[in-house]
Amino acid sequence: MTNPRNNNIKTFIYILSVAIPLVVGLLFRVKIEGLDFSFLPPIYASINAFTSFILVLAIIAIKGRKKELHKKLINFALFLSAVFLLLYVAYHVTSEPTMYEGNYKYIYYFILISHIALSVVVIPFVLFTYLFAVEGNFEKHKNWAKKIWPLWFYVAVSGVVVYWMISPFYK
């Protein structure tokens, strides 16, 4: 018998998975004047770097059968991802877009587009993988995590690479 609470959580995950990209996309059309958040990109890039480091530690912890440490690290990685998202949106609603003007345009845009696409795709999968662990369905959690962890890690690392490549062109 299915737990009605878990059905509500699954519905919430679906809603979040659609709402986050839609709201972020809509917020890109909003410009709030008079606030200078130009200091944020290196901060949220650092959060991405730290998230990737925490994700590696989480893998090491679970391979070492340190389940409680793994749980704490994943919770922290989820928290960091949420903070990143808030800072990213705060920057983009207060700043004009920065265009890449370097010699590696095709590489930059490939990394940027794959980063953005996977950041949208990974949301429900990370949340469902997390839910499986919360439910105690560790076999399903493990199977999903083996596929999802590399995507989440790529999103975190590619965010740093995108920042590193675009940072010389910030005004």
- The predicted pLDDT at position 44 comes to 96
Domain membership of residue 11 (yes or no) is no
Domain count, the chain: 1
Could you tell me if residue 76 is inside a domain? Answer: yes
Tell me the C-alpha distance between 118 and 36, whole Å: 29
Q: Is 2 domain-assigned?
A: no
Asked if the model's pLDDT at residue 2 lies above 70, the reply is no
Confidence at residue 30, expressed as pLDDT on a 0 to 100 scale? 85
- What confidence score (pLDDT) does residue 4 get? 64
Contact 149, 59 (CB under 8 A): yes
Contact 162, 116 (CB under 8 A): no
Residue 91 lies in a domain: yes
Range of the domain at 65: 45-169
In-domain check, residue 74? yes
pLDDT of residue 91 exceeding 90, the answer is yes
**pLDDT digit string (tens) for 7-52?**
889 999 999 999 999 998 898 888 899 999 999 999 999 999 999 9
Residues 122-148 have a mean pLDDT of 95
In the Cβ-directed half-sphere of 113, how many Cα atoms lie within 13 Å? 6
Phi/psi at 155 (nearest 5 deg)? -60, -45
pLDDT band at 1; cut points 50, 70, 90 = very low
In a domain, 29, yes or no: no
Q: What is the DSSP string of 100-143?
A: --SS-HHHHHHHHHHHHHHHHHHHHHHHHHHHHHHHT-HHHHHH
99 SS3 class: coil
pTM higher than 0.95: no
Percentage of residues of the chain with pLDDT beyond 70 = 97
**Token pair of 7 as six digits:** 């059905």
Cα 50 to Cα 153: distance, rounded to the nearest angstrom: 11
